[in-house]
Structure 1
Amino acid sequence: MSGSNLSLLLHLYYCLCCLSFGNAFDTITSSTPINDSQALVSNNGVFRLGFFSLSSSTDHRYVGIWYNNRGVLEESVIWIANRNKPLKDDSGVFMVSDDGNLVVSDGQNQTLWSSNVRNPRGVNVSAQILDTGNLVLKANGNTVWESFWEPLNVFVPMMRLSTNVRTGEKVELTSWKSSSDPSTGSFTSGLQPLAIPENFVWNNTKPYWRSGPWNGHSFTGIPNMNSFVLEGLSLVNDNQGTFYLTLAFFNSSYLSYLYLDPQGISRQRIWDDEKGNWTTYDSPAETECALYGKCGAFGICNSQKPSICSCMKGFKPNNIDEWNSGNWTNGCTRINQLRCHRLNNTDSEPDDNEYGFLKLERIKVPDFAEWSEHLENECKNRCLNNCSCIAYAFDAAIGCMSWSKDLIDIQKFSYGGLDLYIRLPRSELDKKNITVAIIITVVIGTTIIIVVSLIFLLRWMNKDRDRTGRRVYVKFEELAMFEDNGKETKLHQLPLFKFEELATATIDFNPSNKLGQGGFGPVYMGKLLDGKEIAVKRLSSVSGQGFEEFANEVLVISELQHRNLVRLLGCCIEREEKMLVYEYMPNKSLDAFLFDSTKRKLLDWKNRFNIIKGISRGLLYLHQDSRLRIIHSDLKASNILLDEEMNPKISDFGMARIFGGNENQANTGRIVGTYGYMAPEYVLRGHFSEKSDVFSYGVLLLEIISGRRNTSFYNNEHFFNLLGYAWKLWIEDNILALADTELVSKQCCHQEILRCIHVGLLCVQEHANYRPSMSMVISMLNSEIIDLLSPTQPAFTAALHEESLPNNKWSINDVTITNIEGR
């Protein structure tokens, strides 16, 4: 055999081997079918297409698509071709047939499934599995069929659920018959192109669940839907008769999908890399009230009440016996029927004295809304002038909605939803107004008594805490007050955010939006409805910080305005939640760059020196130039945020202390801060001053130059911390070796780097009096002070003996300490 023939045979053998193991191919043609032992794998290995059996029915074989190497098969399958006609053995073949269709056939060459499209014979036809999970059939380069056009029960990113109002064509999800049987089930899910698009689940042909109207951002009938579908759900009108839903995530590597379970409930699965399995999240609408029309016409369903159904004010049960027995499907009817005198006189003015509207808050509005472009006041008048209009609602993103038929499928939420206005006779509204007025009067009177009592109680409790540096309590029910040298000063009005607003903005505090974690709890990125990006600090229930730190931060930072301090936009105190809302810093915190071997390379000397000087200016403002004199008390790399231009902003004022005008130092019995950044006089004796912040600044400056954490030398037999290492290099006259190799290798700015290290060592000296003030630091950095003093040995440059410290519990991580008692 010639060498060329042998090479050809070896090449063919290699190709066949690759195909059999499914490692090299994502495409099949009429000449390359796959059998039961073979598979296709998408280009980047995300999805696999092949034959499989479910663990509950090993005698049935299916051809399908699943996430490659991701947990158990039942949870990874996203599509099945022959769901209703499984193979009985391993004789199946998946191929492009002679007529250009994709088919699944058995050992007797019987077709069990076909893509069923019309293709001319003999054209160039191929099918490819993509990294989106979509199987695409092409003829002469044109797509003629996709598996995304015939989904099963799974909605994955990049798929479209659609409906065409002109042709009636739909792409919908269809449930499995059971968890062990993927054949066609009873439930379907898709878009209903009403006046305002909504998503429905049908049980056969009957409505089973409804999402409420789409407002351009979310479905209003799912108050916490963002936790369920994350940020990526979009509803698009192509202006050619087709509406479609799509799903996408900020992070394309984030593996998650939605699915319709056999009971008609939408759920979400997210792949957990650490655990190596899928985590399933229940639908936010999975309550008894989620069932369509649970309480019948004019009934309101509230899952928080013992008896979930009740009639609206002005209505009574149609059948009282059935209603009392828990059968609410017959709904409610008006007690007093509406009399419309203007039914045939459209020119007459509305009779405001005869009818009015009862406001129902946080409502899933009824089905069958009629839509118009009217503004809110116009919407009300339009309904009042129209005798057939029995209710209306307005949403700025949707427009005016009105109803003229029975109000079906109304649900009361604890938060979210819309306000619904029900038309009632004025006589019934007046009764309510009298009752409300009495209640309001009683509540206001009681509240005044309680508030006055609390003010006297708090003053009595705090009368012996007049020394400077105390924490300040903020009353959020009014303009907060704090004492400043015996004078009461009003805190600027701070915007209050609703919990619902922040939950929506952060996609229900989804892990994918998490920016960081501190001792206080997590910080999330969010986007408000107007598009403004924010950062939300959510106080954890297990945090060492409590309401005192939260109130202190609100008080301190709301009074500060400086370009190197992060700006507080508002706060939220609702239910058990305490949250602070800041301007969003797109580059997150300094430690994310500084202590990452890859990102640190992006910090050249120009950026680092700019950050050093920016932090200096921010601290100087706190210590000298602000109306309040502030000691930050927790300055560290994770509390330095970076904007889009890498400008630094000091954040996290939960531990900050307020000084009196003539005070230079104060004591505390409660030590708060972060290990590695706290000054020795503060750790050992509870003394804090501006020089405490200077010490923390010095540690941070040396970290910025070296690219190493102060605590990175933990358990090192030669050095206790970065300060000890820096001192050794200083004594050896080799201090430039402290600098990050990325900086030294540039062969520039060495004198500037050496000056910064010198300043850093001056800042971390053991005795507070030896440390420079921040104004001197800035002058030294700017070379306005040319001759610098020689530093003395830094604090904590040798291992500390246990007996030399107070009885404290230490943490070696970067988490803030809040429960240490100083001696």
Structure 2
Amino acid sequence: MASCLPLLAILLYFSFSVEPQSLYYNSTAIAPTSWINSPAIPLSTNYSDGSSVRALLLRLNPAGFGPSFAAGFYCFYPCKSVFFSIFIVYAIRDERGLWYPIPQVIWSANRAHPISENATLQLTSQSGLTLHDGDGSLIWTTDIGNQSVAGINITEFGNLVLFDINNSPIWQSWEHPTDSLVMGQSLAGGQRLTASSSRTNWTEGRLYLILLAGGIFAFVNSNPPQLYYNISSNISNRSVDKSAFLTLGNGSLYMNSSLFKPNERIVLKGFVGARNIQYIRLEYDGHLRLYDFDSSTGQWILLGDLFTEDYCAYPTFCGHYGICNNGQCTCPAETSGNYFKLVDDRQPQLGCSTVTPITCEDVNNHELLTISNVSYPNYVDDVAFSRIDEDRCKKDCLENCSCKAVVYRYFDKNVSDGRCFMLSEVFSFENYKSESPYTNSSAYIKVQVAPSPPHSRGGLGKILVFTFGTLLCLLALISIYLVCLRKVEETQDSEEAEDEDFNIDQLPGMPTRFSFEELREATENFTKKLGEGGFGTVFEGSWSNERIAVKRLKNTEQARKDFLVEVVAIGRIHHINLVRLTGYCVDRVNRLLVYEYMCNGSLDQWISCNEWREPLDWSTRLKIITGIAKGLCYLQEDCRQKILHFDIKPENILLDEKFNAKISDFGLSKLIDREMSRVMTLQMRGTLGYMAPEWWITGEVSEKVDVYSYGVVVMEILCGRRNIDCSQTKENQHLLVLLEQKAKSNELLDLIDKNIGDVNSYEGEIMNIMQLAMWCLQLDSSRRPSMSAVVKVLERVMVVETSLSYNFIPSIPTITCAVGQVDQSAALLASTSRVQDQIP
């Protein structure tokens, strides 16, 4: 039982008090108000399971007992992770007196970022609710646009509402569901419930539920998402119907839509005997469960599972490659070879891993193992299947490195064709029983096999014959190639000659290849433009319920080169600080690149303070600076070949919803072998103001050109202005010139952006980062740090070089401002004259 006075006991005590402090125990607060997560919060309760709540707002049940909703700080045992949440609390009066069951959380603001002691929740007119951690870093905020907040209220149904001076709602928690719905709450068309990663890790996991025009669809998030369950009468209709609503009430899930007949609603799922249902939750294991409180026993009870009750029917029950049989997990049979092992012998439900990792550099040694008597996915997704014959299905998987397994289902064993489903990520299989509808299905898993050893005897003659034949074939191919090349050159001006696709889809590990019509449909015929540049235009789109950004390149020779470089450079690498290239299209003269969507746009929009964006605080700026450094470090030191970006600037740094920095636009990049320290190039790449001086001095470059550009970007972030700003007075137009002057006169503090906030609190840290930027800006490239050294400085395991030169600008070229524009004096630059594409 509780280790201190229970929550509602305190409330009941103070409800009869006339002390001013009783005002804290209300369901409403007026802006501005601030709360600090500390034991000093009066309405605090510890529970028998080790969890704890510190309620800030509480809507008491009108009866005085029964379900009540509160909003405040919640933590579960051992209370190292704290969340700003909405939770249901109960007070029970019986022969035992007044007692208190464990609260149930139905919404959380900061699932991915737990907060600590002394975190602060603020309610202001301009920003609504903002949550800062104990170190001052911004964790979460409400998006209220330009509206003004008057106050906050929690309703008797558990909806947290920000309202304006006219008492009209501006923001509501019900419109931003996490993993639960309460009685009366609706899930709108296209919205999701996303399960937690585990029972104790509330970070968003891989499983989600979404409401589409055809009903409820539950997916495991992969590329593409894999359907594992649905409640629908029309599984093929997966368009977003924004007029649709899924509502929980009276033990049932109801779906309404403007597409239905007047006053019509469809009962998708219901439970007989439901009495007092409080909420449903999409659990970490993929089950959609209904919970109620039994006042006779004082316990939360499970009324039922709205999905199937067979545990083996869930994609993550046995982890990757696991096979589920009556709730028990094993790896694919070892009779086919020693290809799989348990991740943890004591916890088989964690799944299996391949003994020999599959590599795209050795596709000739890929094989498909037959897995007998299993079904996958457990809820067969007919829409995701292609209708081809089984041999072609298996062949396509072997030729596509991203394919990790294939499932084939016959319509009729006597008919050759069926449905083929290729998996880019393999989750759990299920052993089917004789009465299973999946007895006509086959499953094959790709494995890496050891190469066959060469013959040691009697093979010399065969080798000579083979070698001679190969040489003849090679000469013939070269002759054919030269003839074809001449014909291509003669018809280069014809559009019919533009249908080359560079054989990109034959390269191992490449992202998904889309058809032009698929991307036309995904972007609604290229109508939502996000940005435009010299080599193309970027459009917003949606594919498999995910927002994407599609860059459509212009039909120019340089654009075609950029396309090939970008796909080859980043198509096979993945890092949290690199924008993910998810697909591409080559269709005659059309070339398109598909990226993950970045909702906060590019860094250049955030560097300078403006009237529609709040300035970034210091912790966010430091997070961005660190993210860029880690991305560059990965490109330079962790890839098989070093990748030189050549165009690091704020326009090419994109920000996701959590302000994680991601490097984009690799069209100008160059791959060099790791043993090469420098390369000579006559083609200058990059943008004026960010180009390293060795371009102009020797033409011999290394990865240190990106280090120099990084130093410029860091200075822009610290100073809150662009490197070349023609709106400034003439003596202040060039940031690096100012940096030289201030460094030599020991006045660097004058350069710090005054919009950072409490600069005094971070002055030492900011000055250290400025010293790091100056280290990166050394004119002599050999004196600049490596990006791994930069990361170590940011992680405080290494100090900045102290012997620095304070000369950062080469004598040439000169960059002048005229009529508010930059004079682009370098005609050879590939990207100087264009507006950089924005890929949110």
Question: What's the TM-score once normalised by structure 2's chain length?
Answer: 0.40
Question: What's the TM-score once normalised by structure 1's chain length?
Answer: 0.40
